[in-house]
């Protein structure tokens, strides 16, 4: 499959990138590693006449315990054990994305902004033309839930959920200047709108609050194979304990909706509760009940829903480690 | 040595046979040098592209290619009407045309072809072709296809969309069941799977000014392509030359003559320039020729003494739009159940239907895989009913060596007993089966497969394989034969079978197995025939030349020829080993006043065998391979995930000509079989659309999911195989699926009757079993 024709730009700075974006007047995409975008381009899924490659922008590189640059390769994040204390759970999440080869090419920014997925969307031009285009590309109906209002394509990036549980912020640079958007608020809208980023904005780096550094955090991903695949569901959680009681608990469920789903309202009610096996069961059950996967990925929706509970339960038990909770029958 | 294993082949100290030899083309593969078909560039070569049907079933009312022809950079456009001659790999089932003529029969069916300067122009030209379709009702399931119709997909189908029916009966099965202590019956559903080979299909066609057509194609059966091209292009065969470059995997997905090859040839003839067509991955899936979706209903009986009494089998297979090898598949779904167990009565009803989906064909294990799964599951169930250990039960029901099955298969060498005994011991079966903690289990299964189809698919008396060997004064040995090297190691095998009788180092032998002009024909790489047939032919050619070298040595030394042995690149006089003639000296003496040495070896055909009833030929083979596997699995009962921890894989290959290659085939078969068992599926949605025509969503097993495999090579020394060898490319796939299913039963007490055993299906099965019993939502860890 060949790519459609496009003009390729390679700016050296964020300012230069924005200047090119302004000239392209909406007809452009940014590309970093390209492991998500180029496949969609080959399938002729909303290709644009201009591609602005960000790979030469030095100021977006670099990963320290203060910030994660948007161009940080997932493989580098995975390899650097020194980053674990600053970003609990993030390295684990990065290590579960795709495969080692893809992680050599894929970037943090790219993974946050990965295109939403649906098996009526992620198909070739020939297939989509034959069956009829959908509203996310060239058409005006949803082929999963037949209606014309909302697109149900599923969010499938593996980094965002745990970053949301850590209350990370995404730093954006655009025509109006720079701003920070909390990860928990960033993802909004349906499978087409996806997030609050304006088209020309670039995710330059990610930070997490100092307070989050002491938390326990992790991400668990369900896929049929143990490599390469996008998530069928994912769960992320972060926990801070005060003795045996919950000081803060955050849960995000991935790959069941057009955005990673936070459960802030629910987990806020758990502050002060004892972190026991019974609580874990209760949380896993409630989160599962509130999740409603749509039938646009391969495994059955009832199974994916059930696995949210199982994955979350195991993840939270993992936090218990070898503490007294083991004695409490966890 | 167990009773069933013959050992009358003289034990010799072979020099290349039995050695672990890296395949002789390995360096060109791992360095990427190939060349593969897509690597080839010819002067003036154009890019060919195919316009494919967006409808599963439709009449073609009109095709307008005028705008495409006018596009600058387009040099040829072809449509179905220009080449209406039918073709197909089986002479009894030729229902394909180069492109659709009156109607399209599946989404992806070829409608037109263009040749242009570059890919972008070719794609633009396709977009300019206007086709008026009249959509017809699509037939998308076995049940739909069985309904009577007045407008079948293929006009030659009589009552419904049925392509082939097979009915065979040997003895009164119902009576046997009535007299049985237990009869187990089950219905199994198998979704289609496909080869997912690494190299997409690729072809270059060049119709040259001298009126000859040369085709380079990634092919398993260049000889059948050669024949089909002559029919479709209406040319004499000798004007067509087929060349097979390096092939990056095939597994039955490249074992037919294909429309894209015809299209490339027609385009090239249309403009006189070379035309290359390279499939993108979606086109590979659309072309399919994979394993048929199958509905298997099987009943198996056992008597009070633990002996199998009878087998009743009904298989319905969904062939998709074309015939391909499907007639053979229809037979193999039934007849290949007649080993390795002794089954005194057998009834088989097989049906292949046409549907408006991607055509199915031969895929590794051809027709035997799904029935084997059913049989090995029912054998386990019977053993359980009869309160017998399932491995012992199998041992007590084996066919012996040198016997005939009730449907007329001539069994010669048979190593099943040794296979079962070895896996029993290595896996510590007796200590562990039925005794592991919940969630862990061991399962056993056997297999049985042909080592080459005994009968030709074309009626003639040509040898199944012919090998020419030539040696010139430089001492290099060239071996010429059309056996298709597709990664299974046939080139290396040919080299070994020639090097051994000549007593020379393997790297002196150069195999030319690519070109129909210079390689005498071999029928091709399918039905696991190449080692047995081409290997025998090569060995015989080698022996002819060996005789010439030995006579030359005799002349040079004055010693009698029969005393000489060829080894270590020498002719050594055995009664006095100080009398030695070097290979080169013997060669040059043999060449004096004679010229280059040439020899021919043939494998004419297997001895007469089989019955006289309709379809008796199907499944006849000059020898059969046998397997027994034990698999150890771990099932996570909360998520339904099955992890295969280890496989003990015993395979009777007669003699391992190259143990490294045999192990590779066994491991590859296990990988492919586990794929079908655990993760692979080829589903259709919404009226004939393949859901996952790409390598992300069509999931093949990752390296991390592969179990540890302990290969156990069993050598039963086949009396007719070259050096005693039999096949090892397909049989080893059969037992892994049922061994895993039987292990899952040992682990969690669930029997799966449909594949793949994805976690959601396992979990549903566990829940169905638990239904009615109160159970907390989540178990404590």
Query: Average model confidence (pLDDT) for chain A?
Result: 93
Helix (H) or strand (E) run with residue B328 in it: helix B326-335
Q: Which residues of A touch B (CB under 8 A)?
A: 1-2, 5, 99, 119, 122-124, 126-127, 129-131, 143, 222, 224-230, 277, 281, 284-285, 298-300, 302-303, 306-307, 309-310, 313-314, 317, 329-330
Tell me which residues of chain B, numbers 690 to 709, contact chain A at a CB-CB cutoff of 8 Å. 691-693, 696-697, 699, 701-702, 704-705
Task: Give yes or no: residues B97 and B211 share one domain.
Answer: yes
Whether residue B314 is predicted with pLDDT greater than 70 in this model: the reply is: yes
CA distance linking residue B641 with residue A145, whole number of Å: 29
> Which chain A residues contact residue B780 at CB under 8 A?
277, 281, 329-330
Least confident of A223-232, A275-284, B254-263, B426-435: A223-232
Q: Which segments of A72-124 does DSSP mark as H helices, in order?
A: 74-79, 90-95, 100-103, 108-112
Q: CA nearest B259: which of B232, B236, B238? A: B232
Whether residue B4 is predicted with pLDDT greater than 80 in this model: the reply is: no
DSSP label at residue B479: E
Given CB atoms, is B55 within the 8 Å cutoff of chain A?
Answer: yes
Inspect the interface and report whether the beta carbons of B701 and A229 lie closer than 8 Å.
no
Q: Which of A228, A317, A330 sits opposite B702 (nearest CB)?
A: A228
With contact defined as beta carbons under 8 Å apart, do B98 and B83 qualify?
A: yes
Given CB atoms, is B779 within the 8 Å cutoff of chain A?
Answer: no
Inspect the interface and report whether the beta carbons of A224 and B759 lie closer than 8 Å.
yes
- Find, in chain B, the residue whose alpha carbon is nearest to that of A119: B691
Task: Give yes or no: residues B467 and B450 share one domain.
Answer: no
Domain ranges of chain A: 1-58, 59-210, 213-327
Smallest CA–CA separation between B144 and chain A, in Å?
21
CA distance linking residue B71 with residue B252, whole number of Å: 38
- Tell me whether the omega of the peptide bond preceding residue B340 falls within 30 degrees of 0, making it cis: yes
DSSP reduced 3-state for B61? strand
Q: Which of A126, A277, A307 sits opposite B639 (nearest CB)?
A: A307
Which residue of A4, A47, A127 is the best one to mutate when testing the B interface, meaning the one whose CB has the most B CBs within 10 A?
A127
CA distance linking residue B657 with residue B16, whole number of Å: 8
Within its chain, how far is the Cα of B694 from the centroid?
Answer: 22
Q: What pLDDT does residue B668 have?
A: 98
Smallest CA–CA separation between A224 and chain B, in Å?
7
Least confident of A176-185, A296-305, B373-382: A296-305
CA distance linking residue B698 with residue B680, whole number of Å: 6
CA distance linking residue A162 with residue A93, whole number of Å: 7
Q: Could you tell me what percent of chain A has a pLDDT over 70?
A: 97
Q: Which of B107, B691, B776 sits opposite A119 (nearest CB)?
A: B691
Inspect the interface and report whether the beta carbons of B759 and A303 lie closer than 8 Å.
yes
> Which chain B residues contact residue A5 at CB under 8 A?
120
β-pairing, B162-170 vs B346-353, is antiparallel
- Backbone phi and psi for residue A69, each to the nearest 5 degrees, phi listed first: -65, 145
Task: Give yes or no: residues B407 and B509 share one domain.
Answer: no
Least confident of A41-55, A287-301, B234-248: A287-301
Given CB atoms, is B686 within the 8 Å cutoff of chain A?
Answer: yes
Task: Give yes or no: residues B719 and B586 share one domain.
Answer: no
- Backbone phi and psi for residue A303, each to the nearest 5 degrees, phi listed first: -70, -45
DSSP reduced 3-state for B141? coil
Least confident of A232-236, B12-16, B484-488, B499-503: B12-16
> Which chain B residues contact residue A309 at CB under 8 A?
777-778
**Residue B57 in domain:** yes
Q: Which of A99, A122, A317 sits opposite B781 (nearest CB)?
A: A317
List strands edge to edge, sheet with B294-302: B162-170, B346-353, B308-318, B294-302, B182-190, B754-755
> Which chain A residues contact residue B759 at CB under 8 A?
224, 299, 303
Q: What pLDDT does residue B122 have?
A: 98
**Residue B50 in domain:** yes
Where a domain ends, among B271, B305, B330? Answer: B271
CA distance linking residue B344 with residue B170, whole number of Å: 8
**Residue B276 in domain:** no
CA distance linking residue A22 with residue A292, whole number of Å: 39
Q: What pLDDT does residue B1 have?
A: 37
Q: Which of A225, A302, A309 sits opposite B705 (nearest CB)?
A: A225
Structure tokens given for B282: 């979606």
Q: Which of B639, B764, B780 sits opposite A277 (nearest CB)?
A: B780
- Backbone phi and psi for residue B290, each to the nearest 5 degrees, phi listed first: -85, -165
CA distance linking residue B555 with residue B152, whole number of Å: 72
Helix (H) or strand (E) run with residue B557 in it: helix B530-557
Helix (H) or strand (E) run with residue B391 in it: helix B390-395
Inspect the interface and report whether the beta carbons of B689 and A131 lie closer than 8 Å.
yes
Q: Which of A143, A229, A330 sits opposite B699 (nearest CB)?
A: A229
Burial level of A67, CB count in 10 A (0-12/13-18/19+)? Answer: middle
Whether residue B773 is predicted with pLDDT greater than 90 in this model: the reply is: no
Q: CA nearest A205: which of A69, A86, A83, A106? A: A69
User: What's the whole-number mean pLDDT along residues B205-221?
Assistant: 98
Q: Which of B107, B691, B781 sits opposite A130 (nearest CB)?
A: B107
- Return the half-sphere exposure (C-beta side, CA atoms, 13 A cut-off) of residue B233: 33
Inspect the interface and report whether the beta carbons of B691 and A126 lie closer than 8 Å.
no
Q: How far apart are the first and last CA of chain A?
A: 52
Whether residue A51 is predicted with pLDDT greater than 80 in this model: the reply is: yes
* Residues shown for chain A: 330
Inspect the interface and report whether the beta carbons of A310 and B759 lie closer than 8 Å.
no
Task: Give yes or no: residues B439 and B473 share one domain.
Answer: no
Inspect the interface and report whether the beta carbons of A225 and B702 lie closer than 8 Å.
yes
For every residue of B700-750, DSSP letters joined together read PPPGGGPPEEEEEEE----SSSGGG----SSGGGTTHHHHHHHHHHHHHS-
Whether residue B12 is predicted with pLDDT greater than 80 in this model: the reply is: no
Inspect the interface and report whether the beta carbons of B778 and A5 lie closer than 8 Å.
no
Smallest CA–CA separation between A120 and chain B, in Å?
8
Inspect the interface and report whether the beta carbons of A131 and B686 lie closer than 8 Å.
yes
Inspect the interface and report whether the beta carbons of B282 and A124 lie closer than 8 Å.
yes
Which residue of B778, B779, B780 is the best one to mutate when testing the A interface, meaning the one whose CB has the most A CBs within 10 A?
B778
> Which chain B residues contact residue A310 at CB under 8 A?
638-639, 778
Q: Write the CA distances from A178 to A31, A236, B445, integer angstroms.
A: 20, 28, 65
Q: What pLDDT does residue B593 have?
A: 92
Q: Which residues lie closer than 8 Å to A192 by C-beta, 6 or more apart?
A: A116, A135, A136, A151, A153
β-pairing, B308-318 vs B346-353, is parallel
Q: Could you tell me what percent of chain B has a pLDDT over 70?
A: 97
Q: What are B199-210's pLDDT values in tens digits?
A: 999 999 999 999
Q: What are A232-250's pLDDT values in tens digits?
A: 999 999 999 999 999 999 9
Inspect the interface and report whether the beta carbons of A224 and B120 lie closer than 8 Å.
no
Q: What are B337-376's pLDDT values in tens digits?
A: 999 999 999 999 999 999 999 999 999 999 999 999 999 9
Task: Give yes or no: residues B570 and B436 share one domain.
Answer: no
Inspect the interface and report whether the beta carbons of B780 and A309 lie closer than 8 Å.
no
ipTM of predicted assembly, 2 dp: 0.94
Alpha-carbon torsion, ordered B375, B377, B383, B384, to 10 deg? -160
DSSP reduced 3-state for A123? coil
Inspect the interface and report whether the beta carbons of A130 and B689 lie closer than 8 Å.
yes
CATH of the domain at B372: 3.30.365.10
Whether residue B694 is predicted with pLDDT greater than 50 in this model: the reply is: yes
CA distance linking residue A300 with residue A297, whole number of Å: 8
Inspect the interface and report whether the beta carbons of B763 and A2 lie closer than 8 Å.
no
Q: Which of B696, B764, B781 sits opposite A330 (nearest CB)?
A: B781
- Backbone phi and psi for residue B582, each to the nearest 5 degrees, phi listed first: -70, 155
User: What's the whole-number mean pLDDT along residues A308-322?
Assistant: 90
With contact defined as beta carbons under 8 Å apart, do B479 and B510 qualify?
A: yes
Task: Give yes or no: residues B634 and B723 share one domain.
Answer: yes
**Residue B249 or residue B687, greater confidence:** B249
> Which chain B residues contact residue A2 at CB under 8 A?
119-120, 123
Q: Which domain holds residue B262?
A: 37-136+202-247+254-271
**Residue B407 in domain:** yes
**Residue B45 in domain:** yes
Smallest CA–CA separation between B460 and chain A, in Å?
43
pLDDT band per the 50, 70, 90 thresholds, residue B440: very high
Inspect the interface and report whether the beta carbons of A310 and B686 lie closer than 8 Å.
no
Task: Give yes or no: residues B418 and B560 share one domain.
Answer: no
Quickly name the fold that domain A213-327 has: Enolase-like; domain 1 (3.30.390)
Q: What are A133-189's pLDDT values in tens digits?
A: 999 999 999 998 888 899 999 999 999 999 999 999 999 999 999 999 999 999 998
Core vs surface per residue A184-202: b (16+ CB within 10 A) or e: bebbeebbbebbbbeebbb
CA distance linking residue A158 with residue B591, whole number of Å: 71
Q: How many domains in chain B?
A: 3
Task: Give yes or no: residues B98 and B222 share one domain.
Answer: yes
Measured CA angle at A205 (ends A204, A208), to 5 deg? 155
B439 φ/ψ sector (left φ>0, alpha ψ -120 to 50, else beta): left
Task: Give yes or no: residues B733 and B748 share one domain.
Answer: yes
Q: Which segments of B9-161 does DSSP mark as H helices, in order?
A: 26-30, 66-70, 119-128, 142-146
User: What's the whole-number mean pLDDT along residues A314-319?
Assistant: 95
With contact defined as beta carbons under 8 Å apart, do B293 and B140 qualify?
A: no
Task: Give yes or no: residues B529 and B385 share one domain.
Answer: no
For every residue of B166-199, DSSP letters joined together read EEEEES-HHHHHHT-SEEEEEEEEE--B----SS
Whether residue A325 is predicted with pLDDT greater than 70 in this model: the reply is: no
Helices B583-591, B530-557: axis angle to 10 degrees equals 80
Domain spanning A59-210 has what CATH number? 3.30.465.10
Q: What pLDDT does residue A127 have?
A: 97
CA distance linking residue B630 with residue B420, whole number of Å: 9
User: What's the whole-number mean pLDDT along residues B632-640?
Assistant: 97
Q: What pLDDT does residue B772 have?
A: 59
Q: Which of A227, A302, A306 sits opposite B704 (nearest CB)?
A: A227
Task: State pTM to two decimals.
Answer: 0.95
For every residue of A171-220, DSSP letters joined together read EEEETTEEEEEEHHHHB-SSTTT-BS--TT-EEEEEE--GGGGGSEEEEE
**Residue B7 in domain:** no
> Which chain B residues contact residue A99 at CB under 8 A?
702
Quickly name the fold that domain A1-58 has: 3.30.43
Inspect the interface and report whether the beta carbons of A131 and B704 lie closer than 8 Å.
no
Task: Give yes or no: residues B648 and B592 share one domain.
Answer: no
- Return the half-sphere exposure (C-beta side, CA atoms, 13 A cut-off) of residue A54: 33
Neighbours of A5 (CB within 10 A): 8
Whether residue B642 is predicted with pLDDT greater than 90 in this model: the reply is: yes
User: What's the whole-number mean pLDDT along residues B50-79?
Assistant: 98
């Amino acid at each position: 499959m060949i790519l459609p024709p496009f003009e390729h730009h390679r700016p050296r700075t964020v300012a230069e990138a924005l200047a090119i974006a302004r000239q392209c007047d909406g007809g452009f995409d940014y590309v970093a590693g390209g492991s998500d975008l180029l496949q969609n381009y080959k399938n002729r899924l909303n290709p644009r006449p201009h591609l602005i490659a960000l790979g030469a922008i030095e100021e977006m590189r670099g990963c320290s315990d203060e910030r994660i640059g948007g161009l940080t390769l997932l493989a580098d994040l995975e390899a650097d054990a020194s980053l674990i204390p600053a970003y609990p759970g993030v390295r684990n999440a990065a290590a579960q994305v795709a495969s080692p080869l893809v992680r050599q090419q894929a970037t943090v920014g790219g993974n946050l902004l990965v295109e939403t997925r649906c098996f009526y969307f992620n198909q070739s031009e020939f297939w989509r033309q034959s069956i009829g285009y959908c509203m996310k590309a060239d058409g005006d109906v949803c082929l999963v839930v037949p209606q014309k209002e909302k697109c149900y394509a599923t969010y499938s990036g593996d980094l965002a959920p745990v970053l949301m549980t850590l209350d990370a912020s995404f730093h954006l640079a655009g025509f109006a200047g720079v701003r920070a958007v909390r990860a928990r608020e960033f993802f909004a809208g349906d499978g087409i709108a996806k997030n609050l980023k304006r088209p020309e904005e670039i995710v330059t780096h990610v930070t997490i609050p100092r307070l989050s550094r002491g938390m326990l955090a992790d991400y668990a991903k369900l896929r049929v194979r143990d490599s390469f695949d996008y998530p069928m569901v994912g769960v992320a959680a972060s926990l801070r304990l005060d003795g045996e009681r919950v000081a803060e608990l955050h849960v995000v469920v991935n790959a069941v909706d057009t955005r990673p789903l936070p459960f802030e309202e629910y987990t806020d009610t758990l502050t002060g509760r004892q972190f026991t096996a019974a609580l874990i069961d209760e949380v896993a059950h409630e989160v599962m009940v509130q999740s409603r996967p749509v039938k646009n990925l391969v495994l059955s929706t009832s199974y994916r829903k059930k696995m949210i509970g199982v994955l979350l339960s195991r993840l939270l038990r993992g936090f218990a480690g070898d503490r007294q909770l083991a004695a409490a029958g966890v | 040595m167990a009773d069933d294993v013959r050992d009358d082949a003289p034990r010799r100290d072979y020099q290349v046979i039995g050695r672990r030899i890296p395949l002789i083309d390995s360096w060109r593969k791992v360095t990427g040098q190939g060349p593969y078909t897509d690597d080839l560039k010819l002067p003036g070569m154009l890019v060919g592209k195919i316009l494919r049907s967006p409808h599963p079933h439709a009449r073609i009312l009109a095709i307008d290619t005028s705008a495409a022809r006018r596009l600058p950079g387009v040099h040829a456009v072809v449509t179905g009407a220009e080449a209406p001659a039918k073709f197909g790999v089986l002479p009894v089932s030729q229902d394909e045309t180069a492109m659709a003529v009156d109607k399209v029969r599946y989404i992806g069916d070829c409608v037109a072809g263009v040749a242009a300067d570059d890919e972008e122009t070719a794609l633009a030209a396709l977009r300019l072709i206007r086709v008026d379709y009249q959509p017809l009702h699509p037939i998308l399931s076995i049940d739909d296809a069985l309904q009577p119709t007045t407008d079948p997909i293929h006009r030659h189908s009589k009552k419904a969309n049925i392509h082939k029916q097979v009915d065979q009966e040997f003895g009164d099965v119902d009576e046997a069941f009535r007299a049985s202590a237990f009869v187990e019956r089950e219905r199994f559903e198998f979704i289609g799977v496909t080869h997912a080979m690494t190299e997409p299909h690729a072809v270059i066609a060049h119709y040259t000014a001298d009126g000859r057509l040369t085709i380079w194609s990634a092919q398993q059966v260049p000889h059948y392509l050669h024949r089909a091209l002559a029919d479709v292009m209406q040319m004499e065969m000798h004007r067509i030359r087929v060349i097979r470059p390096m092939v990056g995997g095939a597994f039955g997905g490249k074992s037919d003559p294909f429309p894209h090859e015809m299209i490339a040839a027609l385009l090239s003839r249309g403009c006189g320039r070379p035309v290359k067509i390279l499939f993108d991955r979606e086109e590979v899936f659309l072309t399919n020729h994979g394993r048929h979706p199958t509905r298997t209903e099987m009943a198996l009986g056992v008597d009070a003494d633990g002996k199998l009494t009878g087998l009743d089998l009904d298989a319905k297979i969904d062939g998709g739009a074309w015939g391909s090898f499907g007639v053979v598949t229809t037979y193999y779904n039934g007849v290949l159940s007649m080993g390795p167990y002794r089954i005194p009565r057998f009834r088989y009803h097989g049906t292949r239907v046409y549907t408006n989906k991607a055509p199915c064909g031969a895929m590794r294990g051809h027709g035997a895989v799904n029935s084997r799964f059913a049989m090995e599951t029912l054998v386990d169930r019977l053993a359980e009913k009869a309160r017998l250990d399932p491995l012992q039960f199998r041992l007590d029901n084996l066919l012996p060596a040198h016997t005939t099955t009730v449907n007329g298969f001539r069994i010669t060498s048979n190593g099943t007993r040794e296979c079962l005994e070895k896996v029993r011991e290595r896996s510590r079966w007796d200590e562990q089966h039925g005794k592991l903690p919940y969630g862990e289990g061991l399962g056993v299964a056997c297999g049985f497969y042909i080592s080459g189809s005994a009968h030709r698919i074309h009626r003639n008396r040509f040898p199944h394989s012919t090998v020419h060997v030539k040696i010139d004064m430089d001492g290099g040995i060239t071996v010429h034969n059309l056996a298709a090297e597709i990664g299974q190691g046939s080139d290396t095998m040919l080299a070994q079978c020639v090097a051994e009788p000549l007593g020379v180092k393997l790297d002196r032998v150069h195999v030319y197995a690519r070109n129909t002009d210079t390689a005498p024909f071999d029928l091709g790489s399918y039905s696991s025939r190449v080692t047995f047939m081409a290997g025998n032919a090569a060995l015989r050619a080698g022996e002819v030349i060996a005789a010439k070298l030995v006579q030359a040595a005799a002349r040079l030394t004055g010693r009698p020829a029969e005393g000489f042995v060829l080894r270590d690149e020498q002719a050594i006089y055995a009664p006095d080993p100080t009398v030695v003639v070097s290979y080169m000296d013997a060669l040059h003496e043999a060449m004096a006043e004679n010229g280059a040495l040439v020899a021919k070896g043939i494998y004419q055909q297997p001895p007469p065998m089989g019955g006289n009833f309709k379809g008796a030929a199907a499944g006849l083979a000059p020898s059969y391979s046998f397997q027994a596997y034990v698999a150890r699995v771990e099932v996570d009962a909360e998520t339904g995930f099955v992890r295969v921890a280890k496989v003990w894989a015993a395979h009777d290959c007669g003699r391992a000509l190259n143990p490294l290659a045999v192990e590779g085939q066994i491991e590859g078969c296990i990988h492919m079989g586990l794929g079908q068992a655990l993760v692979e599926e080829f589903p259709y949605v919404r009226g004939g659309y393949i859901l996952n025509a790409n390598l992300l969503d069509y999931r093949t097993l990752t390296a991390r999911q592969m179990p540890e495999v302990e290969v156990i090579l069993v050598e039963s020394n086949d009396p007719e195989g070259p050096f005693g060898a039999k096949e090892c490319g397909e049989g080893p796939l059969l037992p892994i699926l049922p061994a895993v299913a039987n292990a899952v039963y040992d682990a969690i007490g669930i029997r799966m009757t449909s594949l793949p055993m994805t976690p959601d299906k396992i979990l549903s099965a566990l829940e169905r079993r638990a239904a009615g019993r109160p159970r907390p939502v989540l178990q404590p860890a």
